[in-house]
Amino acid sequence: MKYLFSLLLCLFYFAPLLEATCYLSLDANQQKSSSLSTQALALLSRYVAPVEPMPPSGVPLGSCIYQASLTQAEGQSLFSLKGPRINGFGVSTQKGQRGQSQALLYALYLGKADVSFRSRICADYPKELQSFCRPLSVELLFFDEFGRPLPDGTTVRSGESFFLLLRPLTPLYAQIFNRDAAGELYQIFPNKEVNPQSNPLTPGESYFFPQKKGDLIFRFDQKQGEEHFFLVFSAAPLHDLDIAFAKLQQKKTRAGQKVFTALLNQRGAASTQQIGKVEEIAYRQQFTAMPTRFQGQGTFVVHWSLVHR
């Protein structure tokens, strides 16, 4: 009886919190756009949580609020969507209302790295999100100068060299970033100094980083710690990452790096992994290795780390 009383008491006090109303706060420039506001309310209520328009009188401090903002620059619509359980940024090159709606839908899709969440949206908007919802598959292999594989978590030493093989099995876009032991963030691809190739990548082609015939070699310096590699694969260009990385290069701060890393984490991880078939890879010498195959839908991130001792 005592436990039942305690349960009822908890429900009495916390029920208002469980049923708290959430509101949508639109940027002042978009408040006049009733169609965009209606669409944002409908999408959030359907896929995230029931949301109501922000009342003119305002809401109490600490209320549940979803913030939405639309910016238009250089022929692009950029939509930001933030709130409980979602944080997304979508970019569309379409013009007018169509571009605004597309950017909103992209922000919703990218705002939550959950397979079932994204699958629901893809099922409802297959045409609008065709590029994001396509199945993706790629094979990866990190290896040293002797052709030996470097699995995730491998310990490496200062002065040792490493290379990366990337082989897409479906059409895709790739972005590769490295955060070194000192915490500095670098872009490996796209980067003409590392590999002259550009996106999108062709299925069945083998891409080496650094390139085969170049003079550039990746070698571990004297700074010890963990080397992190973030390999982002997508069915369409991810303009928000491009914009965020460009801002980070202009003003390198720890806070900026945390924001960029958060954007990477929003992309989600590969849904399945399996060892690919054995391949002969001719690069500096002949060797046989087994690349790892990663598969996902629309967009995902592979996080690879090497322990530098």
DSSP states of 164-205: EEEEESS-BEEEEEEE-TTS-EEEEESBTTTB---SSBPTT-
pLDDT for 83 equals 94
The pLDDT confidence band at residue 265, using thresholds 50, 70 and 90, is: low
Average pLDDT, the chain: 80
pTM greater than 0.75? no
DSSP one-letter code for 264: H
pLDDT for 58 equals 87
pLDDT for 250 equals 72
pLDDT for 107 equals 92
Whether the CB-CB separation of 305 and 229 falls below 8 Å is answered with yes
pLDDT for 258 equals 64
Q: 234 in helix, strand or coil?
A: strand
Give the type of residue at 89.
F
Whether the CB-CB separation of 255 and 262 falls below 8 Å is answered with no
Whether 297 shows a pLDDT value over 70: the answer reads yes
Q: Which residue has the tokens 């030493």?
A: 157
Whether the CB-CB separation of 99 and 93 falls below 8 Å is answered with yes
CB neighbour burial string for 52-62, b if at least 16 within 10 angstroms, e if fewer? eebeeeeeeee
* Nearest alpha carbon to residue 100 among 54, 33, 44, 42: 33
C-alpha–C-alpha distance, residues 186 and 184, integer Å: 7
pLDDT for 47 equals 96
Q: Do the bridges between strand 135-144 and strand 155-156 make them parallel or antiparallel, or are there none, so unpaired?
A: unpaired
Mean pLDDT of 299-308: 89
C-alpha–C-alpha distance, residues 243 and 91, integer Å: 10
Which tens digit of pLDDT belongs to each residue from 8-38?
445 444 444 445 789 999 875 555 567 888 9
* Nearest alpha carbon to residue 237 among 175, 186, 291, 178: 175
Which tens digit of pLDDT belongs to each residue from 125-134?
998 888 788 8
pLDDT for 13 equals 41
pLDDT for 32 equals 52
The counts of H helices and E strands in the chain are: 7, 18
**Which helix (H) or strand (E) segment is 219 a member of?**
strand 218-219
C-alpha–C-alpha distance, residues 167 and 171, integer Å: 10
Question: Distances from the Cα of 109 to the Cαs of 131, 208, 299, in angstroms?
Answer: 12, 31, 10
Q: Which residue has the tokens 């990866």?
A: 140
The pLDDT confidence band at residue 158, using thresholds 50, 70 and 90, is: confident
* Nearest alpha carbon to residue 26 among 50, 51, 61, 49: 51
pLDDT for 166 equals 92
C-alpha–C-alpha distance, residues 237 and 229, integer Å: 19
C-alpha–C-alpha distance, residues 5 and 8, integer Å: 5
Higher pLDDT, 256 or 90: 90
CB neighbour burial string for 245-280, b if at least 16 within 10 angstroms, e if fewer? beebeeeeeeebeeebbebbebbbebeeeeebeeee
Share of the chain above pLDDT 70, in %: 78
- Max CA-CA distance within the chain? 78
